[in-house]
Amino acid sequence: MTDYAIQVDHLVKRYGEVLAVDDISFTVPSGSTTALLGGNGAGKTTTLSMLLGILLPSSGQICVLGEDMLTHRHRVLPRVNFSSPYVDLPHRLTVRENLMVYAHLYAIARPAERIAQVARQFDLGDLLMRPAGKLSSGQKTRVALAKALLNEPELLMLDEPTASLDPDTADWVRSSFQDYQRRTGATLLLASHNMTEVERLCDDVLIMKKGKIVDHGAPQLLIDRYGRNTMEEVFLDIARDRQWVAAQ
């Protein structure tokens, strides 16, 4: 029997007139790295926000780590974490104060020890007493990683984790997540526009378009099915409605 970290059933999210997520159902196997792909406005961030319990669905069911998100969100949140370059830490708090706030939110038993541990792991020593708003992009990236792994999450959701990073830093971020996963067996769900990243990291891919899941499968399986050489080409086929032509 497959063990699923995420089970989504007939999930819908409306923002007034906008149907951002249109009746999607999918599963994410425990320990896998799954990509959530789709063009701008496809509904990826809205889906991740519902999985994280930040947004309430209009209808449908979400089960995360075996718990119903609507009724037992508080049990799930300490076991999950999230990273996105678009979410800033409060600027005036120092890095240490920021990490301490998260440590309390995640109910970490010995927060000072755990912060010291991630500070060593991500070389934050000199940064801990600096205001979070005064860091360079590379320094912010290291702090964001420390925050994402602070509670040793069983499920890590990443919204474009390497957007706007230089290739060297992006590679380091990917390796850090891969190392963490190999060490802990955690599940990773990743929204990304970087198809090379998807081919390198992901076992499985879900492709969204206009709020719906329009295809899914392992990267190589999708590349073969569309008769292409890369996920970039598969993505373009789907974005430009060429999937049926390509599949024939």
Return the SS3 of 100: helix
- Kindly tell me which of 141 and 192 has the beta carbon lying closer to ligand ATP: 192
The residues near 150 (Cβ < 8 Å, ≥ 6 apart) are 81, 99, 102, 103, 106, 108, 114, 115, 118
- Kindly tell me which of 16 and 168 has the beta carbon lying closer to ligand ATP: 16
CB of 46 to ligand ATP, least distance (A): 3
Q: Which of 38, 57, 153, 219 binds ligand ATP (CB under 6 A)?
A: 38
Residue 44 contacts ligand ATP per CB under 6 A = yes
The one-letter amino acid at 32: S
- Cite the DSSP H helix spans in the chain: 44-51, 69-76, 95-105, 111-121, 137-149, 167-184, 195-201, 219-225, 231-239, 243-247
Binding segment for ligand ATP (CB under 6 A), chosen from 39-47, 73-81, 119-127, 150-158, is 39-47
Residue 162 contacts ligand ATP per CB under 6 A = no
> 10 Å Cβ neighbour count for 119?
20
By CB under 6 A, what part of segment 216-235 binds ligand ATP? none
Strand 67-68 and strand 187-191: pairing? unpaired
Residue 46 contacts ligand ATP per CB under 6 A = yes
Residue 40 contacts ligand ATP per CB under 6 A = yes
CB of 80 to ligand ATP, least distance (A): 19
Binding segment for ligand ATP (CB under 6 A), chosen from 14-22, 24-32, 64-72, 221-229, is 14-22
Residue 194 contacts ligand ATP per CB under 6 A = no
Q: How far is CA 42 from CA 11, 214, 238, in A?
A: 14, 11, 12
- Kindly tell me which of 44 and 142 has the beta carbon lying closer to ligand ATP: 44
| C-alpha to C-alpha distance for 220 and 218, rounded to whole angstroms | 6
Burial of 167 (0-12, 13-18, 19+ CB in 10 A): exposed
Residue 42 contacts ligand ATP per CB under 6 A = yes
| Residues making contact with ligand ATP (CB under 6 A) | 15, 18, 20, 38, 40-46
